[in-house]
Structure 1
């Protein structure tokens, strides 16, 4: 008799077990991929960058206002980085909004939570499945952008060496590795924005505001990156990872900004995901009138993220050796002199002159911001630098003047201001065709996290 009763009880217990996460994940992934907007996004991300970069790379007018844009006609690797720079500002946060920002809210709008809970029997597993499915789709979109942009640029231009932000020539294999690493670094802030999208989707319920939260956050942070914020605040923002990869292309390469951006981005992703999980698993699904967290959104979401930002700023202020904006005359002089020395050798080679080395050139720079009454620190378009070098075999010293526009994120554009025969605008005959003088205008970047030095 006991055995007869125990058998049905065991079967009932087994039948009541929650559905496996893997099964739920496949189900949620199929649901996402069946949506027409997701299919369109996948098609656009895997096709559009290749076509766009292939067309732009062959034009006479290149997007010189974008990092590596002026080199798109000379190396296909530059095209991939231009796609990354453009996508980081708007495209990637927008993609996370359309996927992660709606993955929970759609169930509220359709009223399907009861059916889903009856089937799965575990809110935690539902959350895990939806989070993993949305991240999978987002990663598929990012990989599509990277592969499409890279392949399109390489087919249109070729895999010639890439000119780095230190003026150095990066061989094709080295450039390929750095480009891949740059895209990998950008995945971390993407995960942070996706986590914020999940949090917004849980908090806002059926309201469409969840869709806008990652994009709105990206808009605010993009404006913040253009402001003269203290360095420790700038690098504590989750969007810093979208620009930190530039320091991989300087000479010498700097890994510090990348490491900091990865740690900050992962911290945001973990905290936002945990908040979303706690709110979701504690939700009362029996309430048919549920319409988001309402006033509790401030204490349950905004306050913890603000606390994370404040804690990040405090930790970075204690460990980062730089101060203020991180931009000063000494850093700028070192970076400019290094870039000029490399580009001078490139110009020499393209003019078919005898080769020289950086050691023979002994390039140096002297920079001033806004005259003697202004401190030589901070961003601005009023930097003026004089570069000097030793002319090989002539026993003389040459000099060239540059006007620099330095942005708050550490990037600068050097514009040649004479002499004309050195850094003026003229075309050089190269195996790829006529190219502008490499010393005329070029991009550079300084390591904001390096120690601020005083000049004697």
Structure 2
């Protein structure tokens, strides 16, 4: 292949130059990245630290119960990778993409090596492709290490046992393994979006160290947005929503609508940011040694398309998703249904622990009556002032059973239920079984509200 327009003006000349093969340029960029001490340190940490963390928690008496699936880390080896995924989506993956992708172009500006690279490769297009592919390769290696290490640590300490899902039902080891791997695969979409945003920041800001912080800033902004009572459509239009919506894989039936939308939006952001970074990169004047970025105009050009994408995806999701009755999708009927379903599944688990007569969810006929602040606040939306009374029936017993739970309902739909009596059901952290003390599944439990689902009341 010959290159004319891609060749910098001072390279040349009237004759055409043969561009270096993309394979060779990619291998060169990958070796450059892997030769950096900080990249090697990150690879070592990702392939070792999660396993040590999961194994260490397995030896402790306390559990990270504030993290989704943290309360089940002593019960099965498949809970550990999900705890690691929750932390990675919030902090680790944004920082990793910042270090890898946020500096891949800026380092050439700081070292002043663009002219040497252009002489060697002879094609800015291939330079961009090689750097982008090398960055994605390293990011995928880092994510693979997080998955492999956390799974190995969990299985080594707690074994291949069933996992309790988000709605209280049990997943077999095979089902748990498939769901865990799918959850991590879904998290790749927002990770690639952050990596592409990092490449864009590195192109636009040049040698400025601010390029390193762009993915981290975007991730922090998304974290703050997920805490706010945003409309469902706007929440799903954010590129990082797949970091949250993977928990729909752990319900029966699986809630895939939010997950698929989150993955599609993340990939759309990745493609948009990558194409924009390529366009701006090819507009640079590499013959000017003092040109190390695109200035204010470049910053504007880099910000406007993502803002337009956010508006377009928000409109598309708003028109496509069903009405939820409230802006944030959290209604009284949904909370009651989620709490009752999770309680019924977990009551059966407690019955098995105590070797009581088996009972089915249909026989229990569990229902929940929920309100906020004792009826002083409309029972909709997120908040930590929810209270539910769960009622169930046992075969052969005339009087129904009742249990009280204090609820913290997060804006993203996660429910944390804390038992408030009676003590025989949810009053103690441990229950005495024929084989010794075991964690009481009804003491505290997690559930989730399907933000896109409709209900008769909601």
User: Of the candidates 390, 395, 402, which is equivalent to residue 393 of structure 2?
Assistant: 390
The CA deviation at 1:319 is: 1.1
- The alpha-carbon deviation at position 252 of structure 1 amounts to 2.4
1:15: how far off? 8.1
1:50-101 residue CA offsets vs partner (Å, 9 max, x unmatched): 0111011221110000000010011110011000001110100000000000
Task: Tell me the alpha carbon deviations over residues 243-269 of structure 1, each in whole angstroms, 9 at most, x when there is no partner.
Answer: 110111123210001110011001100
TM-score, structure 1 as length reference: 0.95
Aligned to 2:384: 381
d(CA) in 1 for partners of 2:62 and 2:15? Answer: 67
In the other structure, the counterpart of 1:357 is 360
* C-alpha distance in structure 2 between counterparts of 1:240 and 1:426, whole Å: 33
Structural mapping, 1:20-169, within 5 Å: 20-169=21-170
Q: How far apart, CA to CA, are the structure 2 residues paired with 1:453 and 1:206? A: 57
- Paired position in structure 1 for 2:173: 172
Asked whether the equivalents of residues 366 and 387 of structure 1 are also in contact (C-alpha less than 8 Å), the reply is: yes
Q: What is the deviation of 1:430?
A: 5.7
Mapped to 2, the partners of 1:432 and 1:135 lie a distance apart of 49
- How many corresponding residue pairs? 444
Task: State the 4+ residue runs in structure 1 displaced beyond 4 angstroms.
Answer: 12-15, 429-433
Question: Structure 1 residues 392-401 or 147-156, which shifts more?
Answer: 392-401
Contact 2:280 2:298 in 1 (8 A): no
Answering whether residue 428 of structure 2 is matched by residue 403 of structure 1, we say no
Give the corresponding residue for 1:204. 205
Judging changes above 3 Å, is the alpha-carbon distance between structure 1 residues 207 and 421 closer, same or farther for their aligned structure 2 residues?
same
Could you tell me how far apart the structure 1 residues matched to 2:329 and 2:190 are?
22
Secondary structure of 2:116's counterpart equals: helix
Whether contact under 8 Å (1:326, 1:452) holds in the other structure is no
Conservation of the 8 A alpha-carbon contact between 1:428 and 1:436? yes
3-state SS in 2 of match to 1:391: coil
Preserved CA contact (<8 Å) 2:284 2:294: no
**Offset, 1:141:** 0.3
Q: Give the gaps of 5 or more residues in structure 2.
A: 1-12
TM-score (normalised: structure 2): 0.94
Question: Aligned ranges for residues 244-323 of structure 1 at < 5 Å?
Answer: 244-321=245-322, 322=324, 323=326
What is the DSSP-based 3-state SS (H/G/I as helix, E as strand, rest coil) of the residue aligned with 2:298? helix
Answer yes or no: is 1:443 the counterpart of 2:442.
Answer: no
Q: Is the 8 A contact 1:247 1:446 kept in 2?
A: no
Q: CA separation of 1:191/1:89 partners in 2, compared to 1, >3 Å: closer, same or farther?
A: same
Q: How far did residue 320 of structure 1 move?
A: 1.2
Gaps of 5+ in 1: 1-11
Partner of 1:386, secondary structure, is strand
Provide the C-alpha distance between the structure 2 equivalents of 1:433 and 1:298, rounded to a whole number of angstroms. Answer: 63
CA distance in 2, matches of 1:432, 1:84: 32
| Aligned equivalent of 1:427, options 424, 427, 430 | 430
Range with bigger deviation, 446-455 or 301-310: 446-455
Mapped partners of 2:207, 2:200: distance in 1: 13
* Native 8 Å contact 2:204 2:299 kept in 1: no
Preserved contact between residue 354 and residue 434 of structure 2 (Cα < 8 Å): no
DSSP-derived class of the 1:413 partner: strand
Query: Could you say what the CA RMSD is over the residues aligned between the two structures, in angstroms?
Result: 1.6
Matches of 1:14 and 1:363 in 2, distance apart?
A: 81
Given that residues 167 and 345 in structure 2 are in contact (C-alpha distance below 8 angstroms), is that contact kept between their aligned partners in structure 1? yes
Any conservation in 1 of the 2:162–2:173 contact (CA below 8 Å)? yes
User: Secondary structure at the residue paired with 1:283?
Assistant: coil
Equivalent-residue separation in structure 2 for 1:38 and 1:331 (angstroms): 45
- Give the direction of change, closer, same or farther, for the CA distance of 1:433–1:284 in structure 2 (3 Å limit): farther
